[in-house]
Structure 1
Amino acid sequence: MTSAPLVAVAHGSRDPRSAETVHRLLGVVRALRPELDVRAAFLDLSQPLLGDVLDAVRADGHREAVVVPLLLGHAFHARVDVPAAVAEAQQRHPDLRVRIGDVLGPDPRLDAAAWRRLLATGADPDDPELGVLLAGAGSSHAPANRLVADVAARWQSRTSWAGTVATFAAAAAPDVPAAIELLRARGARRFAVGSWFLAPGLLPDRIVELASAHAGAPLLAAPMADDAGVADLVLHRYDLASVEAPVPALT
């Protein structure tokens, strides 16, 4: 029996680098499982939108699909936008059954991907004068911010760094200047910025600009998205959702 298509849905951005990174990630997913029909979708600002991709899935003769949100936590987009787009598609296609997978975080594979990106900058886990910021988007949904802080705490526990602090581009504290001051107070003389972002865009650029302005020339980690561990995680979320009950068809 043919597997249901995997529809990976990202937030979307006006920055073309964001969609390019998502497509690179899905290229890794396809390489890991060549027989699987893998399609990219976006919630806003990039094309194609999730509803349009689900329309195409049904037009291609499929009666089922698995939507995997390329989102790092259970914030507004995961709790509201994704289910709403799926529901609208099912209104148009009452015989389409859709399973919605879990968001990507928390998961050790994300932690490991961000860690690999940071080490690739030359950050030394044994440097007692290094202060590390783990930068995320920030959310009004406190558990999403706590997820980033928990990763930062785990990094701190296994290194000799002066400190590791979660910092956010918007909607949550501390911001980058405040995080740098916290690290300086703990003895940091050099700085590195880890990335809790899947792809480049406005918010990661804001983090880089602020860190460069307040910390000289910090080491800057790349976003996580096309890391092989993230691709494996996308497939894991797909597999788990595939054995769960779908959102019922409307017939």
Structure 2
Amino acid sequence: MTALVAVAHGSRDPRSAATVHALLDVVRALRPSLDVRGSFLDLSAPRLGDVLRAVRGAGHRSAVVVPLLLGKAFHARVDVPSAVAEARLPSLDVTIADVLGPDPRLESAALRRLASVGVGAERDWGVVLAGAGSSHAPANALVSSIARRWARESKWSGVEAAFASTASPDVPTAVERLRAGGALRIAVASWFLAPGLLPDRVAASAGGDAVIAPPLGPDPEVAELVLHRFESAVASDLAVQSA
């Protein structure tokens, strides 16, 4: 059977790895027969190459690497393929699945996190959708497009995308725009999978009266999405083999 090897970026913050492992526990609960393993690109253990070698040692002939990344920025486009190549495992057939985003299930999870901290549909809310920020413009554009759609479809006074680093606007600028547009209360929706340095930076810069939603974390729909990415990669491999 093909193994699922999830890979996250990694963080010095132990909450990050704990959240990733909690998400994978939900994935395992959804598919008990599947060998699901977690790994990291940097800063946390185990590293992706070590886990791929362990998968091969366990007798697997194939594995799908599922990047636990919300967009196709540098880590997805460069770091993950490089880590797979550096593992040098010719006896293990490794396929890299698509990243998690974009997908409506991520948005549902983010909205549930907002609801969990008491953010309703009232007009006086202004919502910041906060992501990491990237030098890869399409990754930032994805967050901005979600914010625009939420603004159209919600009753909130406004929704603004903001970024913790690299891209603009930053969170204080987004908050200022929302208040100028009539928002009386500010909430921050998280476009992060797990806690860490950047989500903490977002929370600290939002202002003391802002309501901060937690990261997406071990949400059932996020777990379903991880499995969907795995299954799509397996199906694509089978189609190529039968062509």
1:128 is displaced (CA, Å) by: 1.8
Q: Residue type of the partner of 1:172?
A: A
Residue 152 of structure 1: how far off its partner (Å): 1.1
Any residues of structure 2 matched to 1:1-251 within 5 Å, and which?
3-89=1-87, 91=88, 93-125=89-121, 127-212=122-207, 216-245=208-237
Structure 1 contact 99–244 (Cα < 8 Å) conserved? no
- Aligned partners of 1:166 and 1:17: how far apart in 2? 25
| Cα separation, 2, equivalents of 1:245 and 1:79 | 20
Q: CA RMSD in A?
A: 1.3
Indicate conservation of the 8 Å contact 1:139/1:171, yes or no.
yes
Q: Secondary structure at the match of 1:222?
A: coil
Deviations 1:116-164 (A, max 9, x none): 1111111121x22211100100001111111111111121122221110
d(CA) in 1 for partners of 2:66, 2:236:
13
Q: Give yes or no for contact 1:74–1:103 (8 Å, CA) kept in 2.
A: yes
Shift of 1:225: 2.1
For normalisation by structure 1, the TM-score amounts to 0.93
TM-score, with structure 2 as normaliser: 0.96
Say which is worse superposed, 193-202 or 179-188, in terms of deviation: 179-188
**Counterpart secondary structure, 1:27:** helix
How high is the sequence identity, in percent, across the aligned residues?
A: 64
Divergent runs of 4+, >6 A: none
Describe the SS at the equivalent of 2:206.
helix
Separation in 1, partners of 2:118, 2:148? 20
Gaps of 5+ in 2: 239-243
* SS of equivalent residue, structure 1 residue 131: strand
**One-letter identity of the residue aligned with 1:78:** A
How big is the shift at 1:65?
0.5
The one-letter code sitting in structure 1 at the alignment partner of 2:21 is H
- Partner Cα distance (1:161, 1:244) in 2: 41
SS at match of 2:128: strand
- AA at the equivalent of 1:228: P
Q: Distance in 1 between matches of 2:108 and 2:183?
A: 24
Task: Return 175-184 or 229-238, whichever deviates more.
Answer: 175-184
CA distance in 2, matches of 1:129, 1:165: 14
- How many angstroms apart in 2 are the aligned matches of 1:206 and 1:6? 32
